[in-house]
Structure 1
């Protein structure tokens, strides 16, 4: 079968590899869609400390069950209420909690200290077939796709789940003013969740790439777009809010300055999500601690999700509460997967999905 394997930074090869075999505690999928994200681009150029080469990468996965291990339904079916059959459609979690550590037992699976990941420790979805390992199955991490949800939409449930996790921590209330930094697919999903799930008030989208800002604005219709390369973002948000600031600020971009701006523009009792991680070579920001102190600001980190967030994402997509179909603006075959990485890097599409 064809698969994209990572060997070293900038040594990523689309090649023929043996089709994987399914063990008794595993499920084999025919991958239908594996969507791409900025993390894939980072892996391409820099690798990752948890990724052992050679490794098939890709972690936003939806596919069709083609084989069910002999022990799967007896072991996991009764526990989770799912009897897997050949032909079932399924979405796979990416972040895999252990289910046993202190954090997991507290219900904090998104920050499991023993977390492993599909496409890192386990072969991922940029391939014709993949194995869903027992580590995924034992935490209920393989999810049936609702009948009215396409494979491409289901593959977007994984990043969607990460955004759900972040917003769960923010306590967004109806009418809250929300600012989202980053006009990529995650920024767009954050806007849709803030409105569709939490009934947010005015939502403002910020980016420094005018073309990407325009493309995303056409899809998600923020109340205003702010080009950070043209105006003082903090000043503009203060103007738009009558000097009060934003109730919620989400930095869905890997830029230090956006986190600093988020603190400066937050209203009293404002909630801030540092959703986008910063470069490991420059992870520090200047924080006006007095703003945090006197405005009673709440700053949250968030980067991943728990299995339950993936299920909720599929539910929101299925009900139409948070649509994602129109955010998937490019479909490419597996043979052109490296082109997909270039499209993502250049910001030429909102969401790109690969179809093996």
Structure 2
């Protein structure tokens, strides 16, 4: 923190309009008595952040970023359970736990959950792309801060939220030991799916267009990794499954072609889960008799599940999956536009991109 014209200021990447990020000084958020201020040490760049920056989804100005890990810098006078200096993961939304959606365990449909309240200024929008983020009372009191154990890095801890999102999908699809799961797309999310499927005793088959990502999928435990454009793809997947087809397909890319392949490759009585968000204008024609005669279940899975928060933290903190292997780029907050560009047009070696508000906190950048 530093002074500017008497006010305490910090650096942040402010969304000023479509494809317009401005690296500027903004006031450090002021705390109410029941709030906590966290110094951001690392924040993951998520596909949802990229969409919010590239498309007119939200009115500017805003500060995005939500896969946040850092250190408590200040606590309000009424905060009892948290102290300055504790290392924490910040979870940017927590459900109310008593609406009709929460009582049905549809936590991500809860209005309180959807109304993001962590902020680095302007309309609350996550706030991780800044030096400090304010955690409001509802998040502080209801499980939205997780202490990072000794021996776990900030980088590893920043994966708790994306792990929860993927874990929710794997649980919703009811992946069982011994089942075969097709994962379409071997980017950071698809690779996390590969590791989680293996962790829960399943066999993963990955598809992608980039050979290096297929290689990475095999390194992380995929039984097979196939090019999505291979004309023999369906035949190869049936060969790998004794002619049956996969039990479940997890669609980790918003591709109509991937969905068509999923229909061809998923067994009768199997499941297809939509994880990636498609552009709103996309419509996929489907003959309903395919679902009726083959008893295919179509499922959607959006965001995280409060119920899986402890398990997600356990999986990351106890290294039950290797999140370190997903990190390819470490970029300073000042260069966030470059990070977005790299994510949109990945090199063969681009996987997960992590952002550092303070380059001196990252040995890779100093």
The count of corresponding residues between Structure 1 and Structure 2 is 341
Given that residues 316 and 323 in structure 1 are in contact (C-alpha distance below 8 angstroms), is that contact kept between their aligned partners in structure 2? Answer: no
Contact 1:28 1:67 in 2 (8 A): yes
**Counterpart among 156, 169, 172 of residue 172 in structure 2:** 169
8 A contact 1:251–1:273 mirrored in 2: yes
Partner-residue secondary structure (3-state), 1:31: strand
Pair 1:6-2:15 in alignment:
yes
Gaps of at least 5 residues in structure 2 are 1-9, 358-366
From 89, 92, 95, the equivalent of 2:90 is 92
Structure 1 position 84, deviation (Å): 0.9
The equivalent of 1:206 in structure 2 is 207
Q: Is the 8 A contact 1:35 1:61 kept in 2?
A: yes
Are residues 94 and 254 of structure 1, via their aligned partners in 2, closer, same or farther at CA, if it must alter by over 3 Å? Answer: farther
In 2, Cα distance between the equivalents of 1:137 and 1:46?
A: 31
TM-score of the aligned structures, taking structure 1 as reference length: 0.90
Aligned mate of 2:67, from 60, 65, 70: 60
Report if aligned partners of 1:170, 1:271 keep a CA contact under 8 Å in 2: yes
1:234 matched residue in structure 2: 234
CA apart distance, 1:147: 1.8
Residue 163 of structure 1: CA displacement? 0.4
Q: Is the 8 A contact 1:332 1:355 kept in 2?
A: yes
Q: Secondary structure at the match of 1:17?
A: strand
**Is residue 338 of structure 2 the alignment partner of residue 339 of structure 1?**
yes
Equivalence for 1:132: 135
- Structure 1 runs not aligned, ≥5 long: 74-82
Residues 81-118 of structure 1: CA deviation (Å, up to 9, x unaligned): xx211111111223442334211133321222442235
**Conservation of the 8 A alpha-carbon contact between 1:172 and 1:248:** yes
- Decide whether the 8 Å contact of 2:218 with 2:225 is kept in 1: no
Q: Secondary structure at the match of 2:27?
A: coil
Offset from partner CA, 1:275-307 (integer Å, 9 cap, x none): 11111121x212232232223222210020123
CA 1:219–1:158: 2 relative to 1, 3 Å: farther
Please tell me whether residue 187 in structure 1 is matched to residue 190 in structure 2: yes
Contact preservation (8 Å) 2:75, 2:82: yes
Q: Give the distance between the partners of 2:178 and 2:191, measured in 1 at CA.
A: 19
For residues 40-59 of structure 1, the aligned pairs below 5 Å read 40-48=49-57, 51-59=58-66
TM-score (ref. length: structure 2): 0.87
Distance 1:310 1:61 in 2: 15
- State the 1:179 CA deviation: 0.6
CA distance in 1, matches of 2:19, 2:277: 21
SS of residue paired to 1:56: coil
Change (3 A) 1:124 1:167: same
Give 1:20's aligned residue.
Answer: 29
Distance in 2, matches of 1:307 and 1:139, equals 10
Q: Separation in 2 of the partners of 1:52 and 1:89?
A: 32
- Residue among 93, 109, 112 paired with 2:110: 112
Q: 1:34 aligns with which of 31, 43, 52?
A: 43
Say whether the 8 Å CA contact 1:172–1:194 is kept in structure 2: yes
Shift of 1:269: 2.2
- Looking at structure 1, the residues matched to 77 and 148 of structure 2 have their Cα atoms a distance apart, in angstroms, of 22
Distance 2:218 2:201 in 1: 20
Q: 1:210: Cα distance to partner?
A: 3.1
What secondary structure, in the 3-state scheme, does the structure 1 residue paired with 2:138 have? Answer: helix
Contact 1:37 1:344 (C-alpha < 8 Å) held by counterparts: no
Deviations 1:38-63 (A, max 9, x none): 22221121032xx4421111111011
Larger deviation: 245-254 or 324-333?
A: 324-333
